[in-house]
Amino acid sequence: MLPMHAFNNRAVFAILVVLLVGLPTVGLAKDADYRLAIIKQGFQPQALSIPAGKRVKVLVHNKLVRPAEFESYDFTVEKVVPGGTTVPVYIGPLKKGRYKFFNDFAQNMQGKLRVR
């Protein structure tokens, strides 16, 4: 039979392991990945839909040689995307609605974010 102090330490250790292993699934939602490309003609897709009330990760891939800047005044983001690279942009949580974004280095290149 194990001494009482050994049982308590093992029980405490087991509880801590269960809590730490279960932590990522309890209350912490994994970021959803969305994809957006910057091409010569503009953003692809031009309109991106994301869920309301959730933080999402948008992978912005710049297919151009020159850098672009993914920017929005509506949901406050500003991220330079060097040519030929992909960068993660975290958005939200946002309320339902429509938001605009653009390439600050070519402001005629615009897109829409639909939050549902």
pLDDT in the model for residue 13: 43
Q: Alpha helix (H) ranges present in 3-93?
A: 4-22
Contact 2, 69 (CB under 8 A): no
Rounded CA separation 98/100 (Å)? 7
Q: For the chain, which ranges sit under pLDDT 50?
A: 12-29, 31
Q: Which two tokens stand for residue 96?
A: 């339902």
Residue 94 Cα to chain centre, angstroms: 12
In sequence order, the 6+-apart residues with CB closer than 8 A to the CB of 87 are: 59, 60, 70, 79, 80, 81
pLDDT of residue 32: 56
Supply 102's token pair: 């653009």
72: CB partners within 8 A, 6+ apart:
78, 99, 100, 101, 102, 113
Give the pLDDT confidence of 79-96 residue by residue, as tens digits.
999 999 999 999 999 999
Q: Is the pTM of this model over 0.85?
A: no
The pLDDT of residue 22 is 43
